[in-house]
Chains A and B, each alone.
Chain A
Amino acid sequence: MKLGKILFVFSLVCVSGCLWADGLDPAVLRGSLKDTWPSFNGDYSGRRYSELSQINAENVRSLGLAWTTRANTGETSGATIKATPLVVNGVLYYTVPDHAWAIDARTGRQLWHYKWESKGGIHIGNRGVAIYGNWVYFETPDNHLISLYAKDGSFRWSVEIADLAQEYFSTPAPLVIANHIIVGVGGDSLDVPGYLEARDPETGAVQWHWNTEPRPGEPGSETWPDKDAMEHGGGMTWMPGTYDPELNLLYWGTGNPNPVHAGQGRKGDNLWTCSIVALNPDTGKLAWYFQVSPHDTHDWDAVQTPVLFDAEIKGQKRKLLAQASRNGYFFVLDRTNGKNVLTVPYIDVDWAKGLDALGRPIPDPNHEPKTDGALAAPSAGGGTNWYAPSYDPETRLFYVNSTQSYSVYYLTDTDPKPEGYGGRDSGVWSKDYLKAIDPETGKIRWTHAYPSSGGDSSGLLTTAGKLLFAGDPSDHFIAFDPATGRILWHAGLTASISNGPITYELDGRQYVVAAAGDTLYAFTLPR
């Protein structure tokens, strides 16, 4: 009875004329983030910046715990929450592989828990749900897109989006654009081709399907030696992209080519792997692409969030897109046409001979995997990885949790047609840093070297309260001054921050929520 009452109250506070009962009007995704965190990156820009400022640099020292909740899957091994929670109409939705929960965003109290009976697949993580109308969507390790009713978590339908037998597995949070549910896929073990799809929110049917490799005869096919290499070329789409409603362009980062470490069977640039691509979200047609790692052999996919913002470059206001890419370089592009604005390494890298005329790093064959080993920086884990960066329009800085590292890369499969990964990366040494990059110049404005390392690296959040939230490798949740990197507040948790933190305000109270291992922690100010 109590649950029903809560849901009734939620339905009264819904937005946009209450067309969507307890649900989400997709128009909310174009607004600012106040009482809601309606999509993986909050808004479409990927900045992970909130205009909320009740919690701010002046009072953050008194930030305290509001509630915690644990992802109880009923299984013995602990789950790790890598999902960015969504908050819609006072309800917070989050996932771990095969599981989704709805909880009261004010209290952490569980409203419902849904469990998918899995047929298998790699259970490495799940990045969260998408919400459209009255429905929740999430992907599973066995490659199903599940649709649930938001109000009670009951099953609506599921559709298969990739083939488990070919070692595909699915981790992304779907992205909602108008009436499209954009779903990406993953899987590197057996050299399968990547793709991105739009699915119908009502039925799950395919609206469009975009391959991350061309087919023979198509533009881009000249960057592959043959049909077989293209058909086994990888390029997974395993992280959610971003969207510019004015340009009506969907931006997505694509994964590394396959076989991962053995490039001898796929000579050429291997388009459109390791690329940032712009697609028309209504048709899936490619508008432009920029390849950040031509012919990658180091597992450095380019799925890191393509962050959208406008800034002045040489006195001219520009529509920009920036990515701190796994290959150790920071890229700024003109998001209207994909033209390079700047390319600069944000960690020490040694794998490129320089930049070409397009602003792309030129791979140095000396640092590609060898049978007797090649030393290269960074390691396969990269300069950064899936954990979310943030852009603060007040400081005009781009923030990223990064790693300086070295690996020895071994080529193990010398066959002209290698299969699987074809090689191995043996990690030597690494150290973690939080960096603030000025995207207008490429200069590193400040660096915070974490004295410790290990554990997961966290995603980031900036707010108008002049705060940058991050996790360190020693299980701390930290608020930094985004202008200087000074530490303003911290809390010790039970594990390292394992997702991207979010913030929202309900009943005049601002909350900051982050996951550490199997637990969500909500922080707020004392009344």
Chain B
Amino acid sequence: MKYKGLSLLVVALLLGGATSPGFSQTAAAAGQTAPAGGQNAPTPAQAGPVKNGAPIPQGTGGPGGTSQVERMQKFLAIGAPPDPAAVERGKNLFVATCGFCHGANAKGGESGPDLIRSVLVLHDENGNQIGPVIHNGRPGKGMPAFPSITEAQISDIAAFLKSRYQAAANRASYEIQNIVTGDAKAGEAYFNGPGKCNTCHSPTGDLAGIAKRLEPDALQSRFLYPRPHGNREAATVSPAALPKVTVTPPNGPAVSGTLEHLDDFNVALRDSSGTYRSWSLEPDSNIKVEVQDPLAEHVALLKKYTNADMHNILAYLETLK
């Protein structure tokens, strides 16, 4: 099941008002998948949204139930998070003792440098690098000595600084801010006007309560393109959002069903009885393949949206609680 969108022989759009592609309970639970690319790193999109520091469960979650933040942490090889109790103790100590110069968040202040991207701090292991600096100070650079800070306290400060640079490095942990900034009235007008969303969708039908089921950033992703692409799991997508296909071999008869796979050499479908069928598409096979992608209009809209349109639609959908 590997397609992101189909343009081959898209001969008709399912625009009947009865269909409601995309927004189903199951679709709502699906994690989004980013386009292939980058260096094939897990992207923030794959990593899922994070609110208030805690990952929101995304469907069935990742392999082995690990969170996306943990998966990113493994990928980045930035090491396991330090003991939260030590981080908390270290933070309190840091704010009280070091924050005046280095800033309460360790990003640097009027007189002390940023410690998050400090080469010395990054080389530290449990206080072995920062300990001597804290104990002896840096008289030439105006840093006083703190001889009375204990080894245990230095270890706590090291844990705090480690948590800070892990947070900066782990992009899957970044918190998306308020994105419901649009004008709901304008969004409603777009929905029923130039967007023609009401051709397929209804605020009292398929979209009723949609904002209760999805966080705003997930809802934004879903209305832009409801079918996750890439490593899509069929069970998580509304059947109405799946492409349909009609295959007509040269000697007939035509067979229709849900598209299972299409590449340059093969087409496969599942018919209404659930039976899987596939055909080879050799250059001289004269097999006619007609794909109907119910989401083609979503793709067409991507070229048309302004950021304001996008924010207004989201604001409107957010009223559907």
Binding site for B on A (CB under 8 A): 80, 120-125, 141, 163, 165-167, 169, 171, 189-192, 228, 232, 238, 299, 348, 350, 366, 370-375, 377, 379-382, 385-386, 403, 405-408, 410-415, 417, 419-432, 449-457, 472-474, 476, 478, 487, 490, 492
Contact = CB atoms under 8 A, between A and B. Distances in A.
Interface of B: 2-8, 32-41, 43-45, 75-78, 107-108, 114, 116-117, 119, 122-123, 165, 167-171, 174-182, 217, 220-221, 224-225, 229-231, 261-266, 283, 298-299, 302-303, 305-307, 310-311
B117 A419 contact: yes
A421 to B, nearest CB: 4
Main secondary structure of the interface of B (DSSP, over half): loop
B307 A370 contact: yes
Contacts of A411: 177
11 contacts: A166-B119, A382-B37, A407-B35, A419-B107, A420-B170, A424-B43, A424-B176, A429-B4, A453-B229, A456-B40, A474-B264
A167 B221 contact: no
Contacts of A124: 39-41, 75
Contacts of B170: 189, 420
B44 A424 contact: yes
Nearest to A415: B107
Please name the 8 residue pairs, one residue from A and one from B, whose CB atoms are nearest each other, closest first. Answer: A381-B37, A427-B34, A424-B44, A430-B35, A454-B2, A420-B168, A474-B263, A412-B174
Contacts of A169: 77
A379 B45 CA distance: 11
Contacts of A454: 2-4, 36, 229-231
A432 B168 CA distance: 32
A141 B182 CA distance: 44
Contact of B39 (A386, A419, A426, A490): A386
Nearest to A382: B37
A429 B261 CA distance: 18
Contacts of A122: 41, 75-77
A474 B122 contact: no
Given A190-B169, A428-B225, A430-B229, A474 B40 contact: no
B37 to A, nearest CB: 2
A408 B224 contact: yes
B44 A426 contact: yes
A451 B3 contact: yes
A27 to B, nearest CB: 33
A431 B7 contact: yes
Contacts of B33: 427
Nearest to A80: B40
Contact of B4 (A141, A167, A385, A430): A430
Given A381-B35, A455-B36, 16 more contacts: A125-B39, A166-B122, A189-B168, A228-B114, A348-B303, A372-B182, A372-B311, A377-B302, A403-B35, A403-B37, A425-B34, A429-B298, A449-B8, A451-B8, A452-B3, A478-B264
A60 to B, nearest CB: 13
Instruction: Select the residue from A80, A121, A366, A405 with max chain B CB neighbours within 10 A.
Output: A405
A428 B263 CA distance: 22
A430 B116 CA distance: 36
B102 to A, nearest CB: 13
A406 B224 contact: yes
Contacts of A426: 32, 34, 44-45, 217, 220-221
A99 B117 CA distance: 31
A451 B263 contact: yes
B83 to A, nearest CB: 20
A412 B175 contact: yes
